[in-house]
Amino acid sequence: MPDSLPEYRVKARNTSPSGENKIHDDAIAQKYGFRGGLVPGVTVYAYMTHPLAEAFGAGWLERGTASVRFVKPILEDEEVVVRGEVTERTRQRVTATVTATTTDGGECATATITLPAGSPTPINPALYREAPLPDERPAATREHLGAVDVLGTPVALYDAERAAGYLDTVSDALAIYRGAGGRVHPAFYLDQANRALDRNVRMGPWIHVGSVVRHLGAARIGQTLRTRGRVRSLFEKKGREFVELDLALLADGRPVAHILHTAIYRLPEPA
């Protein structure tokens, strides 16, 4: 494996311009001080995983880790350049850093990733209980989120049709995600982490700011994914209200990822 990972260039797509989260809408995002609707962090993460899957293959998808932060917005049609460098090699693991940059924004997202030599430390799925999604979502307030014991569980069948649609959405042509035995794209894990938030509570414009992911096994096309979780922490910074979720992602009942997922669920009202 070379010290430099394969460079990847892609034209950004705002994959949720008309979705419920209006931070992806140009007019609303501009009211909050952004140049336009934000390309979702999950989509940026999809771009960042391309060199990892290309360089490390199934090994990283099955037992690798990623700690990603989204520090500046990326907008529709901007060229995103993803670069990565191996920073350490030991008998225990390979460590690398990955960045996503644009001409206007500079360094917009950063990630530290590892590829452990051994099997990942498992989680106990019994500690992550399943619960129905609410029929009517309550407003996302500190009081409500602080009182939540178990989040409702999003369920998604990742069949061939869904896989093809998702790969087209995130502009990923790697063969490892296609055909019989194709792997579930790792960014879809964070897509489901978003669903663990926005299908449980009702929010105004909100922003995914970062995630820590541990892959625990392979998930493949045709499997059903269930995202169980709970609220891990709540905090405020510069008038922005943050929530961190502790999530276990299961494919046909077997844990395939552990995710700590952080979002700003309430932004200060625009001036």
Phi, psi of 217 (to 5 degrees): 165, 175
Would you write out the chain's pLDDT as a tens digit for each of its 271 residues? 458 999 999 999 999 998 999 999 999 999 999 999 999 999 999 999 999 999 999 999 999 999 999 999 999 999 999 999 999 999 999 999 999 999 999 999 999 999 999 999 999 999 999 999 999 999 999 999 999 999 999 999 999 999 999 999 999 999 999 998 999 999 999 999 999 999 999 999 999 999 999 999 999 999 999 999 999 999 999 999 999 999 999 999 999 999 999 999 999 998 7
Q: How far is CA 172 from CA 10, 91, 97, 177, in A?
A: 9, 31, 20, 9
**What domains appear along the chain, each with residue ranges and CATH number?**
8-118+125-266 (3.10.129.10)
Q: Which residues pair with 244 in a beta bridge?
A: 233, 262
| Token reading at 143 | 């009081």
Q: Give residue 22's pLDDT.
A: 96
pLDDT score of 90: 96
User: Alpha-carbon distance 84 to 69, whole Å?
Assistant: 15
Q: What is the spatial distance between Cα 54 and Cα 84, in angstroms, rounded to a whole number?
A: 12
Query: CA separation (Å) from 61 to 19, 175, 202, 216?
Result: 29, 13, 32, 9
What confidence score (pLDDT) does residue 1 get?
47
Token pair in block for residue 44: 């940026």
Q: Order of strands, edge to edge, in the sheet holding 155-158?
A: 8-11, 79-89, 93-102, 106-116, 65-70, 207-215, 254-266, 240-251, 223-237, 155-158
Amino acid sitting at position 224: T
DSSP 3-state of 213:
strand
Write down the pTM of the prediction. 0.97
User: Letter for the amino acid at 46?
Assistant: A
Dist. CA 231–CA 236, nearest whole Å: 15
68 beta partners: 111, 211
Q: Half-sphere exposure (CA, 13 Å, Cβ side) for 100? A: 32
If one counts every other C-beta atom within 10 angstroms of the C-beta of residue 238, the result is 5
Check residue 39 and give left, alpha or beta (phi > 0: left; psi -120 to 50: alpha): beta
